[in-house]
Chains A and B, each alone.
Chain A
Amino acid sequence: MIEPRYRAAPPEALRVEPLGDLTAIFDRRSVQTHLVVSPMPEILAAMDDEPCDAATLAARLAAEFEVEAEGDVGAIVAERLHELAALGLVAPA
């Protein structure tokens, strides 16, 4: 099975403001405010210009946050990416 790949929003599209346990994200394109919790902001921050899949992102997050990139982490990141795509904060590539 081919892992779905996602593209980050253009940098100027989102305003990301951490507010304690929650992070408020304002999407200038939809004029919508999204409230998310970890690891959503970390996933968005780990994306760059190139489309990437959950395994690649899990590896980047593992390197940054000292978690195991194997197994569960990849699956969790895949689920969260799917949710971020539903919010319009990332796009299927």
Chain B
Amino acid sequence: MRRSTRIAVGPVQFRVGSDWAAPVAALDRLYAAYPNDPARPADATVRLFAARPWRRWLRPSVHIGGDYVVPDALPLPLSMGLLAAEMGMNLQVALGWRRHLLLHASAVARDGRAVIMSGVSGSGKSTLAALLGEGDWRLMGDEFTLIAPDSGDAFAFPRAVSLKNQAIAELAGRVEPERLGPLLAGTPKGDIRHLVPRANAIEAMHEPARPALLLFPRFGGDMAIEPMGAGEAFVRLTEASTNYIALGEAGFDALTRLVREMPAFAIAYPDSASGMALVEDLWAEAVR
């Protein structure tokens, strides 16, 4: 690897190596405000490499590697090196992390308590968290939320938010331009633009928050709120966790406690403003 950098996101220290300078330079720019301790050993390694040495120069395409490898992961053109790095970082955490129960969920916190929002890609969980994070919430993460098996506390993973498609325009008008990464147009996931979280999210990224409200958002359609029982929430979170099975009984403990501790709702909303209002209403109920 010709270039490399280190990035700390929440409890995870990444080492990212690349055959090219551009993706590393882009990462260094996005993660400039994050704590950087070069002496700290890496928890996860991501490698962006050329399939053949000459591919570094001729129609360069990026392969993603690291401690864990998905054999059929697509090579991406070099212009999407930043997306490749993001995918690599997600993959290493999703498959390798064992210290917490890992939920594929976004989260925001206020007064030491967290709203956890779980959903598949396209559910709106990332956009909702990003928008709330621009208001008086602390963005804990747009993709992963970590639950400590011993305490049940939620820990943040505030990587650069991956804004997709319509969310780009929705956020771009609200934030300082220097917090936005380059536009990656026409990726396999559509248009992508990264957003650096606000300083409060990065400064407080090691502070735990007590889970207080669990939401399963769905963007689109009429406004709806459906209370969800602990059993169904448990089932859905086992599906949303990338390491539940690997954690064994510790995962079972963490998840049963989590779904008992906080109310859960499936919510639907036609636009972001009503989604944010819904979260505020349910929050007011939950922390009363």
Which stretch, B25-33, B82-90, B252-260, touches the partner chain A?
Answer: B252-260
Asked if B232 is at the interface of the complex by the 8 Å CB criterion, the answer is yes
Q: Is the interface of A mostly helix, strand, loop or mixed?
A: strand
Q: A15-B249, A26-B252, A28-B249 are in contact. Are A35 and B235 (CB under 8 A)?
A: yes
Interface residues on B, range: 10 to 19
Size class of the A contact interface (CB-based, 8 Å): 10 to 19
Say yes or no: A35 contacts B249, CB within 8 Å: no
Q: Are the C-beta atoms of B229 and A22 separated by less than 8 Å? A: yes
Residue of chain A at shortest CB distance from B228 = A20
State in angstroms the CA–CA spacing of A23 and B256 once bound together: 10
Q: How many contacts A-B (CB < 8 Å)?
A: 41
Is the CB–CB distance between B256 and A19 below 8 Å?
yes
Partner of A19, one of B248, B249, B259: B259
The answer to whether A35 and B231 touch across the interface, beta carbons within 8 angstroms, is: yes
- Establish whether residues A19 and B252, one from each chain, have CB atoms under 8 Å apart when the complex forms: no
> Are the C-beta atoms of A33 and B252 separated by less than 8 Å?
yes
Interface centre among B231, B238, B249 (most CB of A within 10 A): B231
Find out whether the CB atom of B249 lies under 8 angstroms from the CB atom of A26: yes
| B240 beta carbon closer than 8 Å to chain A | no
Q: Which residue of chain A has the shortest Cβ distance to B248 in the bound complex?
A: A31
Query: In angstroms, how far is the closest chain A Cβ from the Cβ of B249?
Result: 6
Binding site for A on B (CB under 8 A): 229-235, 238, 244-245, 248-249, 252, 256, 259-260
Question: Could you jot down 11 A-B contacts, CB within 8 Å?
Answer: A15-B252, A17-B252, A20-B229, A20-B231, A22-B229, A22-B231, A22-B234, A22-B235, A31-B245, A31-B248, A33-B238
